[in-house]
Chains A and B, each alone.
Chain A
């Protein structure tokens, strides 16, 4: 019997099939990745009475956003959003021990031993930690955009402080710490202790006049 020649498969329609698949994926999927600012809401106090927490006035930086999206930071009206990061960083560090800026308290924070030449051999960092709290308040007619921009600046300030600390002690970027390695995770948590994200979102109230 004569050997039949192997028949070539016609691949001309392959492109069409691939195109169909491509178009399906174009339609059925979205590009956007989930990114955003993750924040923690304060829990509702268990007992209904408002718990009066004694906080020294110098330890609180009140950031108000009024209904016209204008800012009032620490009693000063008309701060611009892009000034806020520096104000926040100064507030949290208080480099000159200014009596109008927050108090600091001594703290001992455990880092993994031997992780940095700048730390003593037991890995305990001894230094001053700020007692400052930022209280962010907004009006009901503040736009969301402005609110988020302000939040972003506050978060950016704390991130910057953490970043500087991490760079100084560990010669690494803070967000480059590998959360899957226990040592890096410990470092990251310790740095979070040094610079706490003390931003409180106050109970909503109507500021900035009538609606």
Chain B
């Protein structure tokens, strides 16, 4: 006589899955609250710098983005690997003079803002950490010329005092 009886015919015991939707919903709400919508596809590779004194950008509608980095891998064949500038969602390609493109971009973005917000426009510079400053200086000069003076060097919050 076998000591352990197989429960034949019964199959595996059923797991109660009625709370599964609740768990998934909690996950869903977590993601809905903690993330933001992806607005632009970034076509350049950006490895952000980590610094300690970062502040949050409060008013999203005042912010325009300038990305500087090397083209993403799937665009390398098209654009090579030299650093490129992306303005919001538009890549500045070879023919365009970058500084002029930036100035046009500032004008265009400023038009979109309400009259009282026009001089509060923030330019968020998202720049790969290995980009030489020459390119960045060109953009900064262009911004100065078009009087977009509030800039934000996008960076991540560094974890507490490592390697100090």
Chain A residues proximal to chain B, CB less than 8 Å: 11-12, 14-15, 17-19, 21-22, 25-26, 28-44, 82, 138-145, 147-149, 151-152, 155-156, 159, 201, 204
- A151–B155 Cα distance when bound, in Å, is 12
In the assembled complex, how far is the CB of residue B102 from the closest CB belonging to chain A, in whole angstroms? 13
A-B pairs under 8 A by CB, number: 157
- A40–B120 Cα distance when bound, in Å, is 11
Instruction: Assess the B155–A34 pair: CB atoms within 8 A.
Output: no
Given contacts A34-B60, A36-B124, contact A140 B134 (CB under 8 A): yes
In the assembled complex, how far is the CB of residue B154 from the closest CB belonging to chain A, in whole angstroms? 4
B147 contacts which chain A residues (CB < 8 A)? 43
Instruction: Assess the A40–B150 pair: CB atoms within 8 A.
Output: yes
Instruction: Assess the A15–B17 pair: CB atoms within 8 A.
Output: yes
A14 contacts which chain B residues (CB < 8 A)? 20-21
Flag whether B95 is at the interface (Cβ < 8 A): no
B60 contacts which chain A residues (CB < 8 A)? 34
Residue of A nearest to B140 (CB): A41
Instruction: Assess the A18–B24 pair: CB atoms within 8 A.
Output: yes
Instruction: Assess the B153–A36 pair: CB atoms within 8 A.
Output: yes
Closest 9 CB pairs of A and B: A140-B134, A29-B35, A145-B129, A18-B24, A152-B51, A204-B137, A34-B57, A14-B21, A36-B154
Flag whether B49 is at the interface (Cβ < 8 A): yes
Residue of A nearest to B145 (CB): A44
Residue of B nearest to A149 (CB): B51
Instruction: Assess the A142–B132 pair: CB atoms within 8 A.
Output: yes
Given contacts A141-B134, A144-B130, A204-B141, contact A37 B153 (CB under 8 A): yes
A18 contacts which chain B residues (CB < 8 A)? 21, 24-25, 28
A36 contacts which chain B residues (CB < 8 A)? 54-55, 57, 124-125, 152-155
Given contacts A18-B21, A34-B60, contact A201 B140 (CB under 8 A): yes
Residue of B nearest to A201 (CB): B140
Chain B residues proximal to chain A, CB less than 8 Å: 17-18, 20-21, 24-25, 27-28, 31-32, 34-38, 49, 51-57, 60, 63, 68, 122, 124-125, 127-134, 136-137, 140-141, 143-145, 147-157, 164
Given contacts A19-B24, A36-B153, A39-B151, contact A145 B38 (CB under 8 A): no
- A156–B51 Cα distance when bound, in Å, is 10
Residue of B nearest to A141 (CB): B132
A28 contacts which chain B residues (CB < 8 A)? 37-38
Instruction: Assess the B54–A11 pair: CB atoms within 8 A.
Output: no
A25 contacts which chain B residues (CB < 8 A)? 28, 31-32, 35
A15 contacts which chain B residues (CB < 8 A)? 17, 20-21, 24
- A14–B17 Cα distance when bound, in Å, is 10
B25 contacts which chain A residues (CB < 8 A)? 18
Instruction: Assess the A26–B31 pair: CB atoms within 8 A.
Output: yes
A147 contacts which chain B residues (CB < 8 A)? 133, 136
B57 contacts which chain A residues (CB < 8 A)? 34-36, 38
Instruction: Assess the B24–A22 pair: CB atoms within 8 A.
Output: yes
- A193–B27 Cα distance when bound, in Å, is 46
- A144–B128 Cα distance when bound, in Å, is 7
6 contacts between A and B (CB under 8 A): A18-B28, A22-B31, A38-B55, A139-B133, A144-B131, A152-B51
Instruction: Assess the B24–A140 pair: CB atoms within 8 A.
Output: no
